[in-house]
């Protein structure tokens, strides 16, 4: 805990190429205190392959944690669960294996059993305004009014519902994080563009924010209320996490 008795949380987004890291103080406020947002890029000799490379990358992670983080009194660790949608079973098993290695490493250093959250729940509970009724199909076809009204009646809210299917969700999440924490010093490449590793760091913060709200509100669901049908649009309100979000679908 910090000097004021607030819990110090560590958020991790784990992949074999980059580990996003977030140090966060849960002080009871809505946004908490973002202390540090960074990442570890564990590079190993290209001649080292397979599971051997995972052990070497774990060693790099552990050394950094011992040198720079071991004195931090971590109370809770939140790790984003790996996405398992790949058709390549080797990719899935590698992600799971490495996530387990990093989880074990965290326990060894901080004596804290990690909590886990899916990327879906992390995004849902950190930025609930992303919930909306979908207007456009995957192929770009706009749903007809009847289908949209049925979706509203069925309370068929989905994440990124107001966006196109091909939207870069990581960019959306970074924009959301920037709106909440405008002073983050993102790492830039030589062309002054955002480095890809920043997305992993961003996801580690989203995991923390999502877990904090999920823990507080205990898996509540969004609910559509106050529907108003007009000639050129449908207005509706989403109630979620003790807040209301005004939405509209324009035809």
CATH top class, domain 7-127+167-217: alpha beta
| pTM reported for the whole predicted model | 0.92
Kindly calculate the radius of gyration of the chain based on its CA atoms and give it in whole angstroms.
20
User: Average pLDDT for residues 113-122, to the nearest whole number?
Assistant: 96
Confidence of residue 91 (pLDDT cuts 50, 70, 90): confident
Whether 86 shows a pLDDT value over 60: the answer reads no
pLDDT at site 225? 92
* In the chain, domain spans: 7-127+167-217, 128-161+221-250
pLDDT at site 109? 95
pLDDT at site 92? 82
Q: Provide CB contacts within 8 A for 73, sequence distance 6+.
A: 1, 2, 8
Confidence of residue 218 (pLDDT cuts 50, 70, 90): confident
Q: Give the Cα separation of 225 and 43 in Å (integer).
A: 50
């Amino acid at each position: 805990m910090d000097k004021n008795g607030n819990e110090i949380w560590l958020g991790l987004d784990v992949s074999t190429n980059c580990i996003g890291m977030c140090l966060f103080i849960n002080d009871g406020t809505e946004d908490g205190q973002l202390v540090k947002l960074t990442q570890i890029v564990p590079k190993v000799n290209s001649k080292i392959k397979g599971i051997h490379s995972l052990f070497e990358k774990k060693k790099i992670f552990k050394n950094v944690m011992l040198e720079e983080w071991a004195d931090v009194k971590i109370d809770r660790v939140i790790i984003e669960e790996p996405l398992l949608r790949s058709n390549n079973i080797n990719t899935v098993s590698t992600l799971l294996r490495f996530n387990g290695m990093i989880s074990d490493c965290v326990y060894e250093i901080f004596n804290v059993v990690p909590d886990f959250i899916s990327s879906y729940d992390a995004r849902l509970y950190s930025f609930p305004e992303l919930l909306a009724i979908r207007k456009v199909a995957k192929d770009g076809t706009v749903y007809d009014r009847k289908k949209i009204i049925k979706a509203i009646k069925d309370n068929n809210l989905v994440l990124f519902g107001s966006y196109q299917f091909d939207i870069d969700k990581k960019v959306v999440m970074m924009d959301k994080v920037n709106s909440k924490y405008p002073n983050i010093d993102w790492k830039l490449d030589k062309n002054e563009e955002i480095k890809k590793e920043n997305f992993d760091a961003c996801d580690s913060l989203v995991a923390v924010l999502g877990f904090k709200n999920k823990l507080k509100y205990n898996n509540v669901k969004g609910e559509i209320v106050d529907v108003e049908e007009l000639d050129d649009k449908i207005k509706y309100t989403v109630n979620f996490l003790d807040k209301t979000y005004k939405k509209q679908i324009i035809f």
